[in-house]
Structure formats: C-alpha cells, structure tokens
C-alpha cells in the first residue's frame, strides 16, 4: 500500500538534496565580502532591533503580496497542467475564469504603484 508513496519520497529527497546542494556550492565557490549590513539578521527589510511602533517602509510587503498573488496562481496551474488532457475545454475555461480576478488584482496593484520602488 505504501509503495504508492515512493514517487513522493523520491521527490522529497530530490528537492531537499537540491536545496542543500545549491547552498553548499554557493558557500564553497561564491565570493565572500561580508560587511556589517550584510551580516545583519535581515539583509533586506527592516532592522530587527528597535521600538515596535515606529514607521517602517511598506515596499517589501508589497513585493510579498505580489509574490503570494502569483504563488497561488502557480499552485493552481501545476495540478491543472498535469490533468490538462482529462479536463479538456472545461478545465481551460475554468482556468481562464480563475485567472481573471488574479489579473484584476494585479492591474490594481500595478496602477497603485506597487511595482515602483521609489
């Protein structure tokens, strides 16, 4: 019964292995020029130490929201692509319908200036 899970186990090992490999290779061969700023807990984003109620730049969160938008899209695209032939035209139309609100949300963010850094 458990043999059905072997592909998942292989995928798990492969993905963990690839992640470890990339980090190790980067550590071995990448250039190292540490500076104070780079060694901070978050190289980008807000300083981790200080009062909790001060104003902070919201840009990174905008990027995070954009990321979630497309992340969800990809999350849905992948299983759809696997079952594309079985789902046929219905699946295609359903996917288009699913995309419309996402595109609307994206246009909204764009027009609101979420893609402009300064």
Cβ of residue 86: shortest distance to another protein, in angstroms?
7
For residue 89, the minimal CB distance to another protein (Å) is 8
Residue 93 Cβ vs another protein, minimum distance, rounded to whole Å: 8
User: 117 Cβ partners below 8 Å, 6+ apart?
Assistant: 59
Q: What Å distances lie between residue 77 and 11, 26, 49, 81, 94, CA to CA? A: 19, 31, 40, 6, 11
Residue closer to another protein by CB (options 14, 83) is 83
**Is the Cβ of residue 66 or residue 87 nearer to another protein in the bound state?**
87
Residue of 18, 22, 25, 107 that binds another protein (CB under 8 A)? 107
Rounded CA gap, 47 and 56, in Å?
9
Is residue 25 part of the contact set for another protein (CB under 8 A)? no
Interface with another protein includes 104 (CB under 8 A)? yes
How many Cα neighbours within 13 Å face the side chain of 98? Answer: 15
- Contact string (CB under 8 A) for another protein, positions 64-103, x = contact: ----------------------xxx-xx--------xx--
- Report CA-CA distances (Å) from 6 to 10, 31, 92: 6, 39, 31
Q: How far apart, in whole angstroms, are the C-alpha atoms of residue 76 and residue 98?
A: 9
Interacting residues with another protein (CB under 8 A): 86-88, 90-91, 100-101, 104-105, 107-108, 111-112
């Amino acid at each position: 019964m458990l043999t059905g899970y072997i592909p998942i186990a292989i995928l798990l090992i492969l993905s963990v292995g690839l992640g470890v490999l990339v980090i190790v290779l980067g550590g071995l061969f990448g250039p190292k020029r540490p500076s104070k700023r780079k060694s901070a807990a978050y190289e980008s984003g807000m300083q981790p130490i200080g009062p909790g109620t001060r104003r902070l730049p919201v840009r990174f969160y905008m990027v995070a929201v954009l990321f979630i938008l497309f992340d969800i899209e990809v999350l849905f695209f992948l299983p759809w692509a696997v079952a594309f032939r079985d789902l046929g035209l219905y699946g295609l139309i359903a996917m288009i319908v699913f995309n419309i609100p996402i595109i609307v949300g994206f246009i909204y963010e764009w027009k609101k200036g979420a893609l402009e850094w300064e």
